[in-house]
Structure 1
Amino acid sequence: MEHPIAAPRRIAGQLLDAAVGYAEERHWDVLPGAWLVEDAAPAGRGGPRIPRCSCGYTACPAPGAHPAGPDWIGEASGNGAAVRRMWLRQPESSILLPTGRTFDAIDVPEDAGCLALARMERMELPLGPVLGTPARRMVFFVLPGAAAKAPDLLRRLGWAPSSLDLVVRGDGDWVPAPPTRLGTGGVVQWVRKPTALNRWLPDTEELICPLAYACGRGR
Protein backbone atom coordinates (compact mmCIF):
# COMPACT_ATOMS: atom_id res chain seq x y z
CA MET A 1 0.00 0.00 0.00
CA GLU A 2 1.29 3.44 -0.91
CA HIS A 3 2.36 5.60 2.03
CA PRO A 4 -0.20 8.43 2.63
CA ILE A 5 2.51 11.09 2.14
CA ALA A 6 3.84 9.49 -1.04
CA ALA A 7 0.66 9.95 -3.10
CA PRO A 8 0.54 13.79 -2.88
CA ARG A 9 4.27 13.93 -3.66
CA ARG A 10 3.81 11.67 -6.68
CA ILE A 11 0.89 13.76 -7.97
CA ALA A 12 2.84 16.98 -7.42
CA GLY A 13 5.73 15.53 -9.39
CA GLN A 14 3.38 14.59 -12.24
CA LEU A 15 1.98 18.12 -12.31
CA LEU A 16 5.44 19.68 -12.44
CA ASP A 17 6.66 17.34 -15.18
CA ALA A 18 3.52 17.88 -17.25
CA ALA A 19 3.60 21.68 -16.88
CA VAL A 20 7.26 21.87 -17.92
CA GLY A 21 6.59 19.51 -20.82
CA TYR A 22 3.78 21.68 -22.18
CA ALA A 23 6.11 24.70 -22.14
CA GLU A 24 9.21 23.03 -23.53
CA GLU A 25 7.72 20.54 -25.98
CA ARG A 26 4.65 22.40 -27.24
CA HIS A 27 5.75 25.99 -26.54
CA TRP A 28 2.46 26.63 -24.77
CA ASP A 29 2.10 29.29 -22.09
CA VAL A 30 1.34 27.65 -18.77
CA LEU A 31 -0.24 29.08 -15.64
CA PRO A 32 -0.37 27.64 -12.10
CA GLY A 33 -3.92 27.75 -10.81
CA ALA A 34 -5.80 27.02 -7.63
CA TRP A 35 -5.59 23.52 -6.19
CA LEU A 36 -7.66 21.12 -4.12
CA VAL A 37 -7.21 20.86 -0.37
CA GLU A 38 -8.30 17.65 1.35
CA ASP A 39 -10.37 18.48 4.42
CA ALA A 40 -10.65 15.98 7.22
CA ALA A 41 -13.87 13.97 7.39
CA PRO A 42 -16.51 15.45 9.74
CA ALA A 43 -15.88 14.66 13.42
CA GLY A 44 -17.24 11.33 14.51
CA ARG A 45 -17.82 10.14 10.95
CA GLY A 46 -15.90 7.86 8.71
CA GLY A 47 -15.71 8.10 4.96
CA PRO A 48 -13.58 9.96 2.46
CA ARG A 49 -12.20 13.42 2.95
CA ILE A 50 -13.96 16.23 1.14
CA PRO A 51 -11.81 18.30 -1.23
CA ARG A 52 -12.23 22.06 -1.29
CA CYS A 53 -10.65 24.75 -3.43
CA SER A 54 -7.54 26.50 -2.17
CA CYS A 55 -9.23 29.86 -2.89
CA GLY A 56 -11.28 29.37 0.28
CA TYR A 57 -14.60 30.20 -1.38
CA THR A 58 -17.05 27.54 -0.26
CA ALA A 59 -19.23 27.98 -3.36
CA CYS A 60 -16.29 28.02 -5.80
CA PRO A 61 -17.75 27.20 -9.27
CA ALA A 62 -14.51 25.60 -10.50
CA PRO A 63 -12.74 24.00 -7.51
CA GLY A 64 -9.06 23.53 -8.21
CA ALA A 65 -9.23 24.81 -11.78
CA HIS A 66 -9.11 28.59 -11.97
CA PRO A 67 -6.38 31.24 -11.78
CA ALA A 68 -5.11 31.81 -8.26
CA GLY A 69 -4.93 35.60 -8.54
CA PRO A 70 -6.29 38.58 -10.48
CA ASP A 71 -3.03 39.23 -12.37
CA TRP A 72 -2.87 35.77 -13.90
CA ILE A 73 -2.60 36.96 -17.50
CA GLY A 74 0.88 38.33 -16.87
CA GLU A 75 1.99 35.32 -14.83
CA ALA A 76 1.63 32.69 -17.57
CA SER A 77 4.92 31.64 -19.15
CA GLY A 78 6.17 29.41 -21.93
CA ASN A 79 9.69 29.26 -20.48
CA GLY A 80 10.42 25.82 -19.08
CA ALA A 81 12.73 27.06 -16.32
CA ALA A 82 10.20 29.69 -15.20
CA VAL A 83 7.41 27.10 -15.20
CA ARG A 84 9.52 24.75 -13.09
CA ARG A 85 10.10 27.51 -10.52
CA MET A 86 6.33 28.18 -10.36
CA TRP A 87 5.53 24.56 -9.48
CA LEU A 88 8.43 24.21 -7.06
CA ARG A 89 6.91 27.14 -5.14
CA GLN A 90 3.45 25.53 -5.11
CA PRO A 91 3.64 21.88 -6.23
CA GLU A 92 -0.10 21.16 -5.99
CA SER A 93 -1.12 23.94 -8.38
CA SER A 94 -3.48 22.94 -11.17
CA ILE A 95 -2.20 23.35 -14.72
CA LEU A 96 -4.04 25.98 -16.73
CA LEU A 97 -3.36 26.77 -20.40
CA PRO A 98 -4.34 30.32 -21.41
CA THR A 99 -6.28 30.44 -24.66
CA GLY A 100 -6.03 33.15 -27.30
CA ARG A 101 -2.25 32.77 -27.56
CA THR A 102 -0.95 29.69 -29.37
CA PHE A 103 -4.43 28.17 -29.58
CA ASP A 104 -8.12 28.72 -28.95
CA ALA A 105 -10.44 25.97 -27.74
CA ILE A 106 -13.94 24.81 -28.67
CA ASP A 107 -15.70 23.29 -25.65
CA VAL A 108 -18.71 21.01 -26.20
CA PRO A 109 -20.65 18.32 -24.26
CA GLU A 110 -18.97 14.94 -24.17
CA ASP A 111 -21.69 13.15 -26.16
CA ALA A 112 -21.55 15.75 -28.93
CA GLY A 113 -17.75 15.72 -28.87
CA CYS A 114 -17.57 11.95 -29.30
CA LEU A 115 -20.07 12.06 -32.18
CA ALA A 116 -18.19 14.91 -33.88
CA LEU A 117 -14.80 13.30 -33.34
CA ALA A 118 -15.91 10.04 -34.97
CA ARG A 119 -17.26 11.99 -37.94
CA MET A 120 -14.07 14.05 -38.25
CA GLU A 121 -11.93 10.94 -38.24
CA ARG A 122 -14.08 9.35 -40.97
CA MET A 123 -13.73 12.56 -43.00
CA GLU A 124 -9.96 12.56 -42.30
CA LEU A 125 -10.11 16.14 -41.10
CA PRO A 126 -6.96 17.54 -39.48
CA LEU A 127 -7.23 17.41 -35.71
CA GLY A 128 -5.24 18.92 -32.88
CA PRO A 129 -5.17 17.76 -29.27
CA VAL A 130 -8.52 17.11 -27.60
CA LEU A 131 -9.21 17.24 -23.86
CA GLY A 132 -11.79 15.36 -21.83
CA THR A 133 -12.87 16.76 -18.47
CA PRO A 134 -14.62 15.14 -15.48
CA ALA A 135 -17.51 17.55 -16.11
CA ARG A 136 -18.26 15.47 -19.25
CA ARG A 137 -16.96 18.09 -21.67
CA MET A 138 -14.62 17.73 -24.63
CA VAL A 139 -12.30 20.54 -25.67
CA PHE A 140 -10.90 20.77 -29.21
CA PHE A 141 -7.74 22.83 -29.78
CA VAL A 142 -7.79 25.08 -32.85
CA LEU A 143 -5.77 28.00 -34.19
CA PRO A 144 -6.16 31.36 -32.42
CA GLY A 145 -9.01 33.49 -33.72
CA ALA A 146 -11.81 31.00 -33.13
CA ALA A 147 -13.55 33.23 -30.61
CA ALA A 148 -13.93 35.97 -33.22
CA LYS A 149 -14.86 33.66 -36.11
CA ALA A 150 -17.24 31.14 -34.54
CA PRO A 151 -20.41 33.26 -34.13
CA ASP A 152 -20.52 34.25 -37.80
CA LEU A 153 -19.62 30.73 -38.95
CA LEU A 154 -22.45 29.27 -36.87
CA ARG A 155 -24.95 31.75 -38.32
CA ARG A 156 -23.89 30.80 -41.85
CA LEU A 157 -24.61 27.17 -40.95
CA GLY A 158 -28.09 28.19 -39.79
CA TRP A 159 -27.46 28.11 -36.04
CA ALA A 160 -27.94 30.93 -33.58
CA PRO A 161 -24.76 30.82 -31.43
CA SER A 162 -26.83 31.03 -28.25
CA SER A 163 -28.89 27.98 -29.25
CA LEU A 164 -25.97 25.54 -29.01
CA ASP A 165 -24.01 24.31 -26.02
CA LEU A 166 -20.78 25.23 -27.77
CA VAL A 167 -18.33 27.50 -25.96
CA VAL A 168 -15.32 29.04 -27.69
CA ARG A 169 -12.44 29.95 -25.39
CA GLY A 170 -10.13 32.66 -26.66
CA ASP A 171 -8.27 35.68 -25.35
CA GLY A 172 -8.65 36.10 -21.59
CA ASP A 173 -9.80 32.53 -20.95
CA TRP A 174 -8.11 29.22 -20.17
CA VAL A 175 -8.53 25.44 -20.15
CA PRO A 176 -7.30 22.97 -17.49
CA ALA A 177 -4.69 20.47 -18.63
CA PRO A 178 -3.88 16.91 -17.51
CA PRO A 179 -3.26 15.73 -14.86
CA THR A 180 -5.25 18.49 -13.12
CA ARG A 181 -7.94 17.21 -10.76
CA LEU A 182 -11.31 18.97 -10.73
CA GLY A 183 -13.43 18.95 -7.57
CA THR A 184 -14.65 15.47 -6.71
CA GLY A 185 -15.18 14.51 -10.33
CA GLY A 186 -11.78 13.18 -11.34
CA VAL A 187 -8.83 14.11 -13.51
CA VAL A 188 -8.62 16.00 -16.80
CA GLN A 189 -7.38 13.61 -19.51
CA TRP A 190 -6.28 13.70 -23.12
CA VAL A 191 -8.73 12.20 -25.59
CA ARG A 192 -6.14 12.90 -28.29
CA LYS A 193 -2.71 13.57 -26.80
CA PRO A 194 -0.38 16.29 -28.12
CA THR A 195 2.01 14.62 -30.55
CA ALA A 196 4.37 15.60 -33.34
CA LEU A 197 1.60 14.72 -35.80
CA ASN A 198 -0.92 17.22 -34.40
CA ARG A 199 1.48 20.08 -33.68
CA TRP A 200 -0.14 22.07 -36.53
CA LEU A 201 -3.62 22.94 -35.36
CA PRO A 202 -6.75 23.05 -37.55
CA ASP A 203 -8.56 26.30 -38.23
CA THR A 204 -12.02 26.87 -36.80
CA GLU A 205 -13.66 26.58 -40.24
CA GLU A 206 -12.47 22.97 -40.52
CA LEU A 207 -14.17 21.75 -37.33
CA ILE A 208 -17.11 24.03 -36.68
CA CYS A 209 -19.58 22.21 -38.95
CA PRO A 210 -19.31 18.70 -37.40
CA LEU A 211 -19.18 20.22 -33.90
CA ALA A 212 -22.27 22.36 -34.47
CA TYR A 213 -24.14 19.47 -36.09
CA ALA A 214 -23.35 17.17 -33.14
CA CYS A 215 -24.37 19.82 -30.59
CA GLY A 216 -27.58 20.47 -32.52
CA ARG A 217 -28.51 16.78 -32.49
CA GLY A 218 -28.16 16.72 -28.72
CA ARG A 219 -30.58 19.57 -28.05
Structure 2
Amino acid sequence: MLDAAVRYAEERHWDVCPGTWLEAVEGAERCSCGDTGCAAPGAHPSGPDWAGRATGSGAAARRMWSRRPKASILLPTGHAFDTIDVPESAGFMALARMERMGLPLGPVTHSPDRRVHFFVLPGAAAKSEGLVRKLGWQAAAIDLTARGEGAYVTGPPTRIGGYGTVQWVRRPTAANRWLPDAEELISPLAYACAREAADTRDRSR
Protein backbone atom coordinates (compact mmCIF):
# COMPACT_ATOMS: atom_id res chain seq x y z
CA MET A 1 0.00 0.00 0.00
CA LEU A 2 2.81 2.40 0.89
CA ASP A 3 4.66 1.79 -2.38
CA ALA A 4 1.49 2.26 -4.44
CA ALA A 5 0.49 5.47 -2.66
CA VAL A 6 3.97 6.96 -3.08
CA ARG A 7 4.04 5.95 -6.74
CA TYR A 8 0.71 7.65 -7.44
CA ALA A 9 1.94 10.87 -5.82
CA GLU A 10 5.42 10.89 -7.33
CA GLU A 11 4.85 9.43 -10.79
CA ARG A 12 1.31 10.61 -11.58
CA HIS A 13 1.17 13.72 -9.38
CA TRP A 14 -2.15 12.52 -7.97
CA ASP A 15 -3.33 13.47 -4.50
CA VAL A 16 -3.63 10.50 -2.18
CA CYS A 17 -5.33 10.12 1.18
CA PRO A 18 -5.20 7.22 3.64
CA GLY A 19 -8.62 5.83 4.43
CA THR A 20 -9.83 3.16 6.82
CA TRP A 21 -8.26 -0.29 7.03
CA LEU A 22 -9.12 -3.84 7.99
CA GLU A 23 -8.51 -5.12 11.50
CA ALA A 24 -8.63 -8.65 12.88
CA VAL A 25 -11.27 -8.80 15.63
CA GLU A 26 -12.20 -12.11 17.26
CA GLY A 27 -10.99 -14.07 14.27
CA ALA A 28 -12.77 -11.92 11.71
CA GLU A 29 -11.80 -8.86 9.70
CA ARG A 30 -13.65 -5.65 10.42
CA CYS A 31 -13.36 -2.08 9.29
CA SER A 32 -11.32 0.22 11.50
CA CYS A 33 -14.35 2.53 11.65
CA GLY A 34 -15.94 0.09 14.12
CA ASP A 35 -19.21 -0.30 12.23
CA THR A 36 -19.97 -4.01 11.99
CA GLY A 37 -22.33 -3.27 9.09
CA CYS A 38 -19.85 -1.11 7.16
CA ALA A 39 -20.75 -1.04 3.46
CA ALA A 40 -17.12 -0.63 2.32
CA PRO A 41 -15.01 -2.22 5.06
CA GLY A 42 -11.45 -0.96 5.03
CA ALA A 43 -11.98 1.31 2.05
CA HIS A 44 -13.62 4.63 2.89
CA PRO A 45 -12.64 7.99 4.45
CA SER A 46 -11.68 7.85 8.09
CA GLY A 47 -13.30 11.18 8.88
CA PRO A 48 -15.15 14.18 7.42
CA ASP A 49 -11.87 16.06 6.98
CA TRP A 50 -10.38 13.41 4.71
CA ALA A 51 -10.03 15.68 1.67
CA GLY A 52 -8.00 18.20 3.64
CA ARG A 53 -5.51 15.46 4.55
CA ALA A 54 -4.86 14.45 0.94
CA THR A 55 -1.35 15.07 -0.32
CA GLY A 56 0.46 15.11 -3.62
CA SER A 57 3.83 14.74 -1.94
CA GLY A 58 5.55 11.38 -2.15
CA ALA A 59 7.45 12.07 1.07
CA ALA A 60 4.24 12.96 2.93
CA ALA A 61 2.51 9.87 1.54
CA ARG A 62 5.40 7.73 2.77
CA ARG A 63 5.05 9.19 6.27
CA MET A 64 1.26 8.66 6.29
CA TRP A 65 1.38 5.01 5.22
CA SER A 66 4.38 4.30 7.43
CA ARG A 67 2.12 5.19 10.36
CA ARG A 68 -0.87 3.28 8.94
CA PRO A 69 0.58 0.63 6.58
CA LYS A 70 -2.78 -1.12 6.08
CA ALA A 71 -4.73 2.07 5.29
CA SER A 72 -6.71 2.05 2.05
CA ILE A 73 -5.71 4.41 -0.75
CA LEU A 74 -8.25 7.08 -1.59
CA LEU A 75 -7.70 9.09 -4.78
CA PRO A 76 -9.64 12.38 -4.64
CA THR A 77 -11.41 13.30 -7.87
CA GLY A 78 -11.92 16.81 -9.23
CA HIS A 79 -8.28 17.93 -9.37
CA ALA A 80 -5.95 15.77 -11.45
CA PHE A 81 -8.83 13.74 -12.87
CA ASP A 82 -12.54 12.91 -12.69
CA THR A 83 -13.92 9.44 -13.26
CA ILE A 84 -16.87 8.04 -15.16
CA ASP A 85 -18.19 4.93 -13.43
CA VAL A 86 -20.34 2.32 -15.15
CA PRO A 87 -21.53 -1.24 -14.41
CA GLU A 88 -18.99 -4.01 -14.95
CA SER A 89 -20.46 -5.61 -18.08
CA ALA A 90 -21.12 -2.24 -19.73
CA GLY A 91 -17.63 -1.05 -18.84
CA PHE A 92 -15.87 -3.99 -20.44
CA MET A 93 -18.13 -3.85 -23.49
CA ALA A 94 -17.39 -0.14 -23.94
CA LEU A 95 -13.68 -0.64 -23.32
CA ALA A 96 -13.41 -3.27 -26.06
CA ARG A 97 -15.28 -1.00 -28.46
CA MET A 98 -13.12 2.03 -27.63
CA GLU A 99 -9.94 0.03 -28.14
CA ARG A 100 -11.18 -1.10 -31.57
CA MET A 101 -11.99 2.52 -32.41
CA GLY A 102 -8.54 3.64 -31.32
CA LEU A 103 -9.91 6.18 -28.85
CA PRO A 104 -7.45 7.69 -26.37
CA LEU A 105 -7.86 6.08 -22.96
CA GLY A 106 -6.54 6.87 -19.52
CA PRO A 107 -6.21 4.49 -16.59
CA VAL A 108 -9.21 2.26 -15.82
CA THR A 109 -9.98 0.41 -12.59
CA HIS A 110 -12.35 -2.41 -11.67
CA SER A 111 -13.77 -2.49 -8.14
CA PRO A 112 -15.27 -5.43 -6.21
CA ASP A 113 -18.71 -3.81 -6.34
CA ARG A 114 -18.61 -4.63 -10.08
CA ARG A 115 -18.03 -1.10 -11.30
CA VAL A 116 -15.51 0.04 -13.91
CA HIS A 117 -13.99 3.50 -13.45
CA PHE A 118 -12.61 5.44 -16.43
CA PHE A 119 -10.17 8.24 -15.54
CA VAL A 120 -10.83 11.39 -17.57
CA LEU A 121 -9.94 15.08 -17.45
CA PRO A 122 -11.41 17.13 -14.58
CA GLY A 123 -14.78 18.66 -15.40
CA ALA A 124 -16.50 15.45 -16.45
CA ALA A 125 -18.75 15.42 -13.40
CA ALA A 126 -20.18 18.82 -14.29
CA LYS A 127 -21.02 18.01 -17.89
CA SER A 128 -21.63 14.26 -18.13
CA GLU A 129 -25.37 14.51 -17.43
CA GLY A 130 -25.79 17.01 -20.25
CA LEU A 131 -23.68 14.96 -22.64
CA VAL A 132 -25.72 11.82 -21.93
CA ARG A 133 -28.97 13.76 -22.33
CA LYS A 134 -27.88 14.92 -25.79
CA LEU A 135 -27.54 11.26 -26.74
CA GLY A 136 -31.13 10.61 -25.69
CA TRP A 137 -30.71 9.05 -22.23
CA GLN A 138 -30.71 10.02 -18.57
CA ALA A 139 -27.44 9.21 -16.81
CA ALA A 140 -29.17 7.90 -13.68
CA ALA A 141 -31.51 5.69 -15.70
CA ILE A 142 -28.61 3.93 -17.43
CA ASP A 143 -26.46 3.80 -14.26
CA LEU A 144 -23.67 6.08 -15.50
CA THR A 145 -22.06 8.17 -12.77
CA ALA A 146 -19.32 10.79 -12.87
CA ARG A 147 -17.21 11.69 -9.83
CA GLY A 148 -15.63 15.09 -9.45
CA GLU A 149 -14.91 17.66 -6.75
CA GLY A 150 -15.49 16.33 -3.24
CA ALA A 151 -15.58 12.66 -4.25
CA TYR A 152 -12.96 9.93 -4.57
CA VAL A 153 -12.17 6.56 -6.06
CA THR A 154 -10.40 3.77 -4.23
CA GLY A 155 -6.94 3.09 -5.62
CA PRO A 156 -5.44 -0.35 -6.25
CA PRO A 157 -4.40 -2.53 -4.48
CA THR A 158 -6.94 -1.63 -1.77
CA ARG A 159 -8.96 -4.60 -0.55
CA ILE A 160 -12.61 -4.01 0.34
CA GLY A 161 -13.45 -6.41 3.14
CA GLY A 162 -14.18 -9.89 1.89
CA TYR A 163 -15.43 -8.60 -1.45
CA GLY A 164 -12.09 -8.44 -3.22
CA THR A 165 -9.39 -6.04 -4.35
CA VAL A 166 -9.57 -2.94 -6.53
CA GLN A 167 -7.54 -3.71 -9.65
CA TRP A 168 -6.20 -1.91 -12.68
CA VAL A 169 -7.80 -2.84 -16.00
CA ARG A 170 -5.50 -0.33 -17.69
CA ARG A 171 -2.56 0.64 -15.52
CA PRO A 172 -1.18 4.18 -15.35
CA THR A 173 1.69 4.38 -17.83
CA ALA A 174 3.66 7.03 -19.65
CA ALA A 175 1.45 6.36 -22.68
CA ASN A 176 -1.79 7.29 -20.89
CA ARG A 177 -0.49 10.19 -18.82
CA TRP A 178 -2.61 12.58 -20.90
CA LEU A 179 -6.21 11.84 -20.03
CA PRO A 180 -9.12 11.93 -22.49
CA ASP A 181 -11.95 14.41 -22.17
CA ALA A 182 -15.39 13.10 -21.21
CA GLU A 183 -16.72 14.00 -24.67
CA GLU A 184 -14.36 11.46 -26.25
CA LEU A 185 -15.69 8.52 -24.22
CA ILE A 186 -19.26 9.37 -23.33
CA SER A 187 -20.93 7.97 -26.45
CA PRO A 188 -19.59 4.38 -26.24
CA LEU A 189 -20.01 4.40 -22.46
CA ALA A 190 -23.61 5.62 -22.61
CA TYR A 191 -24.47 3.20 -25.42
CA ALA A 192 -23.07 0.23 -23.47
CA CYS A 193 -24.87 1.31 -20.29
CA ALA A 194 -28.18 1.76 -22.13
CA ARG A 195 -27.82 -1.66 -23.74
CA GLU A 196 -27.05 -3.27 -20.38
CA ALA A 197 -30.03 -1.49 -18.76
CA ALA A 198 -32.33 -2.74 -21.55
CA ASP A 199 -31.02 -6.29 -21.21
CA THR A 200 -31.59 -6.17 -17.45
CA ARG A 201 -35.18 -5.01 -17.97
CA ASP A 202 -35.78 -7.80 -20.47
CA ARG A 203 -34.43 -10.45 -18.09
CA SER A 204 -36.66 -9.21 -15.27
CA ARG A 205 -39.85 -9.65 -17.30
**TM-score, normalization: structure 2?**
0.94
Amino acid in structure 1 at the alignment position of 2:19 = G
- SS at structure 2 position matched to 1:163: coil
Q: Does the Cα contact within 8 Å between 2:83 and 2:146 map onto a contact in 1? A: yes
1:17 aligns with 2:17: no
Q: Does the Cα contact within 8 Å between 2:22 and 2:29 map onto a contact in 1? A: yes
Q: Cα deviation per residue 1:53-76 (whole Å; 9 max; x = unaligned)? A: 110012212111111111111100
CA-CA distance at 1:162 after TM superposition: 2.1
**Following the alignment from structure 2 to structure 1, what is the Cα–Cα distance between the partners of residues 139 and 192?**
14
Amino acid in structure 1 at the alignment position of 2:165 = V
Aligned residue in 1 for 2:47: 69
CA-CA distance at 1:185 after TM superposition: 1.1
Runs of 4+ in 1 over 2 A off after TM superposition: 38-41
Q: Cα deviation per residue 1:26-78 (whole Å; 9 max; x = unaligned)? A: 0000000001112334xxxxxxxx32111001221211111111111110000
Aligned pair partner of 1:36 in 5, 11, 22: 22
Aligned residue in 1 for 2:175: 197
- SS at structure 2 position matched to 1:178: coil
Q: 1:141-156 residue pairs with structure 2 within 5 A?
A: 141-156=119-134
- SS at structure 2 position matched to 1:85: helix
Of all paired residues, the percent bearing the same amino acid is 67
**Following the alignment from structure 1 to structure 2, what is the Cα–Cα distance between the partners of residues 154 and 40?**
48
CA-CA distance at 1:198 after TM superposition: 0.1
1:53 aligns with 2:31: yes
Amino acid in structure 2 at the alignment position of 1:100 = G
Q: Cα deviation per residue 1:104-144 (whole Å; 9 max; x = unaligned)? A: 00111110000000000010000000001111111000000
Aligned residue in 2 for 1:157: 135
Q: Does the Cα contact within 8 Å between 2:139 and 2:145 map onto a contact in 1? A: no
Structure 1 vs Structure 2 CA RMSD: 0.8
- SS at structure 2 position matched to 1:161: coil
**TM-score, normalization: structure 1?**
0.88
Aligned residue in 2 for 1:209: 187
Q: 1:181-196 residue pairs with structure 2 within 5 A?
A: 181-196=159-174
Q: Tell me the matched-pair count.
A: 197
**Following the alignment from structure 1 to structure 2, what is the Cα–Cα distance between the partners of residues 106 and 52?**
29
CA-CA distance at 1:152 after TM superposition: 0.5
1:84 aligns with 2:70: no
CA-CA distance at 1:214 after TM superposition: 0.5
- Mind listing any 5+ residue stretches in structure 2 that lack a counterpart? 198-205
Amino acid in structure 1 at the alignment position of 2:189 = L
- Mind listing any 5+ residue stretches in structure 1 that lack a counterpart? 1-14, 42-49
